[in-house]
């Protein structure tokens, strides 16, 4: 869940995008909504992996290789 501070950051970045002022890398204007969302999440810190989250197990595990003698 996003904190209130993170929500404000996302709201500000998305407003910049809608006004046509959001830039990628400081030069080019962002034209894609998906890119704007990615920038917003990155700036607010929501895109970082957290140690508390567990990735979904897909049921397959690697088998241990036996050493040749």
pLDDT in tens, 5-63: 889 999 999 999 999 999 988 789 999 999 999 999 888 888 776 666 565 666 566 66
CA 27 – CA 36 distance, rounded (Å): 14
Domain that holds residue 17: 4-44
33 Cβ contact partners less than 8 Å away, ≥ 6 residues apart: 17
Count up the domains in the chain and report the number: 1
Q: Considering the domain boundaries, does residue 56 fall inside one?
A: no
In this prediction, residue 36 carries a pLDDT of 93
What local confidence, expressed as pLDDT, does residue 58 receive?
61
Q: Is residue 38 in a domain? A: yes
Residue 32: name the closest of 16, 17, 10 by CA: 17
Residue 13 forms part of a structural domain: yes
66 found inside a domain: no
Q: Are residues 40 and 10 in contact, defined by beta-carbon separation less than 8 angstroms?
A: yes
d(CA 43, CA 9): 7
Per the domain annotation, does 19 fall within a domain? yes
What pLDDT does 13 receive? 92
Q: Is residue 65 situated within a structural domain?
A: no
Question: Considering the domain boundaries, does residue 24 fall inside one?
Answer: yes
């Amino acid at each position: 869940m996003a904190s209130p501070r993170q929500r404000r950051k996302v709201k500000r970045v998305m407003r910049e995008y809608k006004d046509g002022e959001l830039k990628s890398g400081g030069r080019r204007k962002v034209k894609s909504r998906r890119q704007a969302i990615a920038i917003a999440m990155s700036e607010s810190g929501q895109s970082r992996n957290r140690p508390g989250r567990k990735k979904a197990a897909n049921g397959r595990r690697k088998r241990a290789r036996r050493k040749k003698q």
